[in-house]
């Protein structure tokens, strides 16, 4: 039997890359999937098509994780039609720049999306999980939040914040039957890994013991494990999926 048959999973930042891989992976396991996205409607439509191709139900849910009112309205609209069993906080943005050159508005935008967005979305799903006395939240962090990442000041701070937020959320929500964990990806073949200059890419790759970038599906499988009943006694953990980059 599929692990998520009859369950509803909401994924933020699901229009492309890792978010799309997460949405499709849950769909293959029988979940009804909420596809959260902000602006790339045509790419979100592709995610929906990929979800539907598995035979699962997908729902497009456009909203901005920075806007608390919009978050509550969007997530409530999805949850009212079948509840929410799993939330994957994947939405993120990146504004590379050394600290002396990083504009205040760039800093604020990254924190608003990557960290405050996790807060907004997590609060919005809690009424559905409280009513059932169960639920799972998986936050997507980054190895940039665990080790120095020069040129990514705001991104590193936001993702380090996600790791810290995960542990405290887990302690607070476990008595209510809600498990919270994080997955910490390294450099992937999607997203940032695609945009790296080839010389920088080779430098990064040479620092990885497995000698390759990760695949989005490998991270998605880790997320599904933490969201599944197989991880029923795991809370507050940050599962690093980076090929050994952080060793």
- Please give the distance of CA 15 from its chain centroid, rounded to a whole number: 12
Q: 233: number of CA atoms within 13 Å, CB side?
A: 0
Residue 136 · residue 85 · CB < 8 Å: yes
139 bridge partner residues: 89, 182
Q: Which helix (H) or strand (E) holds 195?
A: helix 192-195
Calculate the CA 181 to chain-centre distance.
Answer: 11
Our answer to whether residue 37 is catalytic in this structure is no
Report CA torsion sign: 126, 77, 39, 19: positive
**What residues are labeled active site?**
155
């Amino acid at each position: 039997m599929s692990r998520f048959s009859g369950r509803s999973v909401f994924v933020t930042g699901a229009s492309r890359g890792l978010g799309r891989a997460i949405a499709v992976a849950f769909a293959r396991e029988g979940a009804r999937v909420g596809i959260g996205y902000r602006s790339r409607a045509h790419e979100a439509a592709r995610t929906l098509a990929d979800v539907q191709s598995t035979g699962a139900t997908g729902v497009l849910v456009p909203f901005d994780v920075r806007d608390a009112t919009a978050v509550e309205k969007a997530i409530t609209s999805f949850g009212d039609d079948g509840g929410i069993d799993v939330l994957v906080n994947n939405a993120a943005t990146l504004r590379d720049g050394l600290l002396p050159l990083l504009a205040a508005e760039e800093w604020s935008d990254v924190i608003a999306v990557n960290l405050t967005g996790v807060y907004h979305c997590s609060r919005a799903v809690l009424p559905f999980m409280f009513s059932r006395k169960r639920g799972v939240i998986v936050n997507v962090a980054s190895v940039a939040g665990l080790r120095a990442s020069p040129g990514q000041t705001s991104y590193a701070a936001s993702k380090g914040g996600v790791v810290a937020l995960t542990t405290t959320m887990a302690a607070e929500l476990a008595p209510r039957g809600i498990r919270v964990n994080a997955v910490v990806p390294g450099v992937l073949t999607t997203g940032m890994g695609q945009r790296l200059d080839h010389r920088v890419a080779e430098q990064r790759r040479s620092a990885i013991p497995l000698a390759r970038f990760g695949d989005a599906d490998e991270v998605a499988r880790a997320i599904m494990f933490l969201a599944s009943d197989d991880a029923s006694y795991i809370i507050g953990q940050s599962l690093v999926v980076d090929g050994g980059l952080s060793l």
